[in-house]
Amino acid sequence: MDAAKRLATLNRIRKLSRLMDTSIRIPLTGFRIGIDPIIGLVPGAGDLISTAFSAYIIFLATRFGIPRQDLAKMIFNVGLETVVGTVPLVGDLFDAFYKSNIRNLAILEQHLTVVEPKLKEVSDELYSGKFSQV
């Protein structure tokens, strides 16, 4: 995968992770949730849909050659959120606080800082809006 595709994939992971876990700010609290706990309110199917999004994020992260131990941590994060998320109401509150996708994004970004620091730097600059184009 060339550098442009790698940048696009990393930014897709960032956007999906933030959409799922931190896209909505709760007024007057500063606390952020994403659509993950909201989707989880749908009985049965909600947790499956959230898990599918999280699995897709992990799939995209594998394109960066993430080590097995990091991949295992990412799978554990999603698995824990999935299992606890099946408990009515308590699971949705857990989803709102645990934020497995943001945790997994941090694991990926830590890996990229070590393995591909230039890609991470360019991606950070592009994602923060410093540049309008590559």
Please indicate whether residue 121 or residue 39 has the higher confidence score (pLDDT). 39
Task: Quote the pTM value.
Answer: 0.87
pLDDT digits (tens, 9 = 90+) for 68-82: 999 999 999 999 999
Q: Are 8 and 119 in contact (CB under 8 A)?
A: no
Residue 132 has a pLDDT of: 44
d(CA 52, CA 58): 10
Decide if pLDDT at 39 tops 50. yes
pLDDT digits (tens, 9 = 90+) for 79-94: 999 999 888 888 889 9
Q: Are 67 and 126 in contact (CB under 8 A)?
A: no
Domain residue spans of the chain: 3-27+36-127
* Residues with Cβ within 8 Å of residue 77, at least 6 apart in sequence: 98, 100, 103, 104
